[in-house]
A and B are shown apart, each in its own frame.
Chain A
């Protein structure tokens, strides 16, 4: 059994990248995730891997494009304003079907916003972000352990589907220290020789990486191919976690840091005798609509808690489809609700719905 280590979320993620066989990391400093570049700048050369501080996030993501296009495991990380700058490159990578790992340690926005944690990048992460029809596989860690675990999972999913994977974390998970364990990892064998640009031997046709299909007939064919892939992802990669849902009459729905706060709120509410559960989506794309639809036949009300003005709640409502009330509670600007805030809000809502 591997030993536990006490690490920051950002450092655990960086260490996981090394252990997952990441060949190259390209990044640009931005709070609250600069530790990733710092950690890798120190550690990657020891393994003869490439680490580079680029001139911008725009350059970072395009360096990732080049490395991934040559068949290597490549990643970048940033925080919200930097991720906005990467959207062009992410769209190109999705279009060119290049696997890579991107980590967003979400801070509160819009604009320069603040360096404190937020979840305001939900829509950007799961609904597109860049131009054109594409989807990212989006993983939402709620602990330092998951910051590490999802790096391995993220790289594997990226290779499996030839699609960028985004880890949507936040400033609190990135900065806080928790115990973390690194499990032995075997990298799945993936044959990239049919598309990676490694130099054309006489024995095969040239490989080229592109997202350009200028004839509309060919472009639509490519779009349909991508859609088929996203359908497979929706069918096979939905991940979530449930707490106390067996007897639940009420349900918290929250991801990442919000789910951590809701866990504590759930314990307080349970002690008061109210049967409440917690549903935590782990994949934000593909989203666990189906399970929420099932839970909607069991509970009286759902309360979605987010560090934004109400973004994921729209997906919860899509899943629940009007069967039960779906309420929202959130803080913004880098402010975080206490478990007691959430409990108070829940009790008010229960009274309101009981009276009506």
Chain B
């Protein structure tokens, strides 16, 4: 039971509420109604919560909540369906693109997206991902790349930077032993089935704006073009990078982009247009 001193005195509320007349203010920002109003489990400074919100903003802006089905991965974002107020399926580790194939092939009129981390997509799920893109499956892959396994607390991922310290590469990733980080976006852009491939980051206000634009494009392209859209997002992971949120944001600009340069890698071409 809270003691008396922990209870907010009524006067504190009085100070805030009477002066706050909503009509006197212009609402310039609100959380999208397509988000479930609950607390998230993500760490402070984590990119997931932000990207969840961006996707749901796009769903709200495009008014496609009724037509959107998401696939949650295994990883930190395994609970994505607790936060996104849309129909979703939880996939086994790495299998999101196969699950999405099953959904989209049967409901081609819906908007379908997978949300996958680097371990899920680039390690255990690389086969399902590559073949889905090669078939030109008409869905969006949101690929969260933070260069570590977040959920299992910071092991080396296929995207871990050369020399980067993780719990399973305590002396830094040795590329002579484990190979170089996989550049998923560049790899998949080579496949004719990929129609739109871009890499963005959410460590700055501009980056957030560009990422939202990329996601918006990718959702729209799903209806306009044949093929798969891939939006890779360099995600901050302060907890597993052993950094403060501010340090993590700087780490992206100073280190991550050297291996994973930001920007569009492949844009839709006129011959990718759907013929109806």
Chain A interfacial positions (CB closer than 8 Å to B): 23-24, 26, 50, 52, 54-56, 58-60, 62-70, 72, 74, 88-89, 92, 96, 197-202, 206-212
Question: B71 contacts which chain A residues (CB < 8 A)?
Answer: 66
Is A206 within 8 A of B88, CB to CB?
Answer: yes
Q: Mark B36-69, 1 if CB is under 8 A from A, else 0.
A: 1000000000000000000000000000011111
Asked if B98 is at the interface (CB within 8 A of a chain A CB), the reply is yes
15 A-B residue pairs with Cβ-Cβ distance under 8 Å, sorted by A, are A23-B106, A24-B102, A54-B98, A64-B102, A65-B91, A65-B98, A66-B102, A69-B103, A70-B102, A70-B107, A92-B92, A197-B88, A208-B88, A208-B89, A210-B89
CA of A46 to CA of B95 in the docked complex: distance in angstroms? 29
Residue of A23, A74, A206 ringed by the most chain B CB atoms within 10 A: A206
Other contacts beyond A62-B91, A68-B102: 19, CB < 8 A: A23-B106, A55-B127, A58-B95, A58-B127, A63-B99, A65-B95, A66-B102, A67-B102, A70-B102, A197-B88, A197-B89, A197-B103, A199-B107, A200-B65, A200-B66, A202-B66, A207-B87, A208-B81, A209-B88
Taking the closest CB of chain A, its distance from the CB of B221, in whole angstroms, is 19
A-contacting residues, B74-108, CB 8 Å: 78-79, 81, 84-92, 95, 98-103, 105-107
Taking the closest CB of chain A, its distance from the CB of B93, in whole angstroms, is 9
Is A209 within 8 A of B100, CB to CB?
Answer: no
Chain B interfacial positions (CB closer than 8 Å to A): 36, 65-69, 71-72, 78-79, 81, 84-92, 95, 98-103, 105-107, 110, 127-128, 131
Is B87 within 8 A of A206, CB to CB?
Answer: yes
Which residue of the partner chain B has the closest CB to A204? B87
A56-B90 contact given A24-B102, A69-B99, A70-B102, CB 8 Å threshold: no
Question: B127 contacts which chain A residues (CB < 8 A)?
Answer: 55-56, 58-59
CA of A212 to CA of B73 in the docked complex: distance in angstroms? 11
Taking the closest CB of chain A, its distance from the CB of B131, in whole angstroms, is 4
Question: B84 contacts which chain A residues (CB < 8 A)?
Answer: 206
Which residue of the partner chain B has the closest CB to A209? B89
Is B103 within 8 A of A67, CB to CB?
Answer: yes
Q: Which of B36, B66, B90, B98 contacts A96 (CB 8 A)?
A: B90
Taking the closest CB of chain B, its distance from the CB of A128, in whole angstroms, is 17
Taking the closest CB of chain B, its distance from the CB of A272, in whole angstroms, is 55
Is A67 within 8 A of B105, CB to CB?
Answer: yes
Shortest beta-carbon contacts, A-B, top 5: A66-B102, A62-B98, A210-B90, A197-B87, A66-B99
Taking the closest CB of chain B, its distance from the CB of A96, in whole angstroms, is 7
Which residue of the partner chain B has the closest CB to A71? B106
Q: Which of A23, A74, A199, A211 contacts B90 (CB 8 A)?
A: A211
Q: Which of B66, B90, B101 contacts A63 (CB 8 A)?
A: B101
Is A88 within 8 A of B92, CB to CB?
Answer: yes
Is A62 within 8 A of B106, CB to CB?
Answer: no
Question: A201 contacts which chain B residues (CB < 8 A)?
Answer: 66
A70-B92 contact given A62-B99, A200-B85, CB 8 Å threshold: no
Question: B65 contacts which chain A residues (CB < 8 A)?
Answer: 199-200, 202
Is A58 within 8 A of B89, CB to CB?
Answer: no
Which residue of the partner chain B has the closest CB to A201? B66
Q: Which of B102, B105, B106 contacts A65 (CB 8 A)?
A: B102
CA of A58 to CA of B132 in the docked complex: distance in angstroms? 13
Question: A70 contacts which chain B residues (CB < 8 A)?
Answer: 69, 89, 102-103, 106-107
Taking the closest CB of chain B, its distance from the CB of A38, in whole angstroms, is 19
Which residue of the partner chain A has the closest CB to B36? A206
Is A89 within 8 A of B102, CB to CB?
Answer: no
CA of A165 to CA of B179 in the docked complex: distance in angstroms? 43
Is A50 within 8 A of B89, CB to CB?
Answer: no
Question: B103 contacts which chain A residues (CB < 8 A)?
Answer: 66-67, 69-70, 197
Question: B106 contacts which chain A residues (CB < 8 A)?
Answer: 23-24, 50, 67, 70, 72
Which residue of the partner chain A has the closest CB to B84? A206
Taking the closest CB of chain B, its distance from the CB of A196, in whole angstroms, is 8
Which residue of the partner chain A has the closest CB to B92? A92
Taking the closest CB of chain B, its distance from the CB of A349, in whole angstroms, is 47
Question: A56 contacts which chain B residues (CB < 8 A)?
Answer: 127
Is A55 within 8 A of B89, CB to CB?
Answer: no
Is A59 within 8 A of B131, CB to CB?
Answer: yes
Taking the closest CB of chain B, its distance from the CB of A129, in whole angstroms, is 15
Residue of B36, B65, B89, B91 ringed by the most chain A CB atoms within 10 A: B89
Question: B90 contacts which chain A residues (CB < 8 A)?
Answer: 96, 208-212
Taking the closest CB of chain A, its distance from the CB of B43, in whole angstroms, is 17
CA of A199 to CA of B95 in the docked complex: distance in angstroms? 21
Which residue of the partner chain A has the closest CB to B87? A197
Which residue of the partner chain B has the closest CB to A98? B89
